[in-house]
Structure 1
Amino acid sequence: MRILFIGDIVGKIGRRMVKENLPELKREYNIQYTIANGENAAHGKGMTKAIYKELMGYGVDFITLGNHAFHKDEVFELFEADKKIIRPLNYPSIVPGEGFKKVNINNETLMIVNLQGRSFMESIDNPFTEIDALLKRESADQIFVDFHCETTSEAIAMGYYLDGRVNAVVGTHTHVQTNDAVVLDNGTMYITDVGMTGYKDGILGIDKEAVISRFLDQLPKRHVVPDKGDGILSAVVIDTVRQTIEPILIRE
């Protein structure tokens, strides 16, 4: 199975980069299924019904989220409609939405799991014990994990923890692609962070001036996600048969 995973789509520029590049990426890499992290797709925070429909129209098959999963109220309607979208598994069980879903691709079952880290992030349930519990009660031909976390140490720990139990663990959230794509000892394909898809000449997809100013004076600043400018697309191609993981970085 050949899976394309697109890292954190940020705002309008990120969505444009998907529109302009996804069809060719699918052809070039013979992609069977496309997953994207969309937690920043709605102008930097959250997901709306219109943007969900837009991304699906561009050829995205499935969307994972993260710590901004509930920033837009419309996401509740997407969860209720049982769309191809999940929020982190380790939110408390009373939280709407699901943390994993299974899809059928060419007579194989792919289980897609979304986890969220706890280091320097919201104190939600433990992602390590939650994925343990899930793997004890659910099975699939292929298992893909999007681990949305802040620190490289927590991401790497999850990779080793799941090595041999899932097909792939890819990191999201820090918006910078790491140069460590690898097949671990027991066959799990891993990368600490896939990187972002959005405004190239800012800081993590945000206009750089306000971010730099915050570092200078420590005062709150409004983060501006530009609608115009050059973009970047960060992704990985995962081949579960050949056991390969190939990072992709497209710059305008």
Structure 2
Amino acid sequence: MKILAIGDIFGETGRQIIKNYLPHLKEKHQIGLTVANVENSTHGKGISYKHYQELKSYGIDIMTSGNHIFHREETQQFIQEVSDLLRPLNSNPYHPGPGTILIEVKNKKIRITNLLGTAFMPIAAENPYFTLEKLLEKEDCDIHLIDFHAETTAEKNALALHFDGKISMTGPYGGVIGAKPTAIIQRAKQGLPAKMVPYEDKGQFNGILLEIDNTSNKVIKIERLRKIF
């Protein structure tokens, strides 16, 4: 079985890339499950119900997120009404929506979990190590996919290494995380809030294609997919 994981879909540029490129990828590689991070898909921050429906129509099966998931008030409501949009499992326990789900694809039980890093995050989150360890104690699946949404590569690498053996972005090509650099620099230099404005330039698609062995349930091939439009 093949699983496609797509990096952070940013703004209109990211959505258009998914519309034009995802159907081709799914047909070419015979992908059985597509997972994507969508937390910046509406104007670079959050996701509206309209854009949730749009991305679903393009072939995304499960959507994950991060610290911007509730930037739009409407998301607090509709995340409770759908079964395929995740918020970070280790965020505030009073936040609506699931942080992990169990689905079945081609007779395989697949769990998808969304976690949030703690370094440089503007919102409080429980230690992701403890959250994941508690979840793994009652592992009930054949395959477990984890989207760890964090600001630093060091934090991501450390968590991956810690859970080794147990367990990027689609949008504007220029700028910083898909936005014009001015706002990002102001935040870093002055410590003041600044609105992120999508960088209008060429687009890029980033994701990974996982090939799973049907007997061992282990990944036997990982292919990085990157295309600049």
Is 2:65 aligned against 1:68? no
CA distance in 2, matches of 1:20, 1:41: 15
Cα offset for 1:105?
A: 0.4
Cα offset for 1:74?
A: 1.6
SS at match of 2:210: strand
Is 2:214 aligned against 1:237? no
Q: Is the 8 A contact 1:47 1:72 kept in 2?
A: yes
Give runs of aligned pairs for residues 124-143 of structure 1, distance below 5 A. Answer: 124-143=125-144
Match of 1:35, as an amino acid?
A: V
Match of 1:41, as an amino acid?
A: S
CA distance in 2, matches of 1:162, 1:219: 35
Percent of aligned positions with the same letter in both sequences?
37
CA distance in 2, matches of 1:91, 1:217: 27
Post-superposition Cα deviations, 1:135-172, rounded to whole Å, max 9, x if no partner, equal: 11241011000001112221111112221222xxxxxx
Q: Is the 8 A contact 2:91 2:124 kept in 1?
A: no
CA 1:156–1:208: 2 relative to 1, 3 Å: closer
Find the counterpart in structure 2 of residue 146 from structure 1. 147
Cα offset for 1:116?
A: 0.5
Moved more, 234-243 or 110-119: 234-243
Is 2:182 aligned against 1:202? no
SS at match of 2:79: helix
Q: What stretches of structure 1 of length at least 5 have no aligned partner?
A: 167-194
CA 1:210–1:111: 2 relative to 1, 3 Å: closer
Q: Is the 8 A contact 1:35 1:63 kept in 2?
A: yes
Q: Is the 8 A contact 1:78 1:85 kept in 2?
A: no
TM-score by length of 2: 0.90
Instruction: Compute the RMSD of aligned alpha carbons.
Output: 1.9
Match of 1:116, as an amino acid?
A: L
Matched positions, count: 223
TM-score by length of 1: 0.82
Find the counterpart in structure 1 of residue 216 from structure 2. none
CA distance in 1, matches of 2:88, 2:189: 34
Match of 2:104, as an amino acid?
A: N
Find the counterpart in structure 2 of residue 246 from structure 1. 223
Is 2:200 aligned against 1:223? no
Give runs of aligned pairs for residues 66-215 of structure 1, distance below 5 A. Answer: 66-121=66-121, 122-166=123-167, 195-211=168-184
CA distance in 2, matches of 1:34, 1:154: 25
CA distance in 1, matches of 2:188, 2:166: 41
SS at match of 1:85: coil
Q: Is the 8 A contact 1:35 1:62 kept in 2?
A: yes
Match of 2:107, as an amino acid?
A: N
Cα offset for 1:41?
A: 0.5
CA 1:123–1:19: 2 relative to 1, 3 Å: same
Post-superposition Cα deviations, 1:199-223, rounded to whole Å, max 9, x if no partner, equal: 1122221124555677787765432
